[in-house]
Amino acid sequence: LIIILPSLVYSKNISLEECNSMASIINESTPMNVDEVTILQNVVCTYPAEIMYNYNLTIPASPSDIDFSFLKKTILNSWCSDPNQIYLLERVSGIQYRYRNVNQTYLGDFRFSIDEC
């Protein structure tokens, strides 16, 4: 889904309205299973134009069960090595991944921006 989004971006920095339009496109396919224990619930944009991915785990978990440093490194590498994702990352204020467990308990999050590529 992230591959089709850069075509919606026309300026160097996208507006919150444009960000919300992109999030709406992704949300048409949510909730979406990412792997055997992770579901993408939805995507929202926050000011000024940060994309927030909200994930739920289908298993009981606590914050100490998740290696957020490893997750961030893996996901950041994916974003920074794909030209389509870099294109979008250059135009938003940042990306945030937020996680909750099966009971909707907040587990943690991480953020990154193009400056970390």
Residues 6-52: tens digit of each pLDDT: 444 444 688 999 999 999 999 999 999 999 999 999 999 999 899 99
* Whole-number Å distance between alpha carbons of 106 and 101: 7
* Whole-number Å distance between alpha carbons of 96 and 79: 12
- Please tell me the pTM assigned to this model: 0.86
Residues 38-89: tens digit of each pLDDT: 999 999 999 989 999 999 999 999 999 999 999 999 999 999 999 999 999 9
Which long-range contacts does 70-75 make (Cβ < 8 Å, 24+ apart)? 71/97, 71/110, 72/97, 72/110, 72/112, 75/112
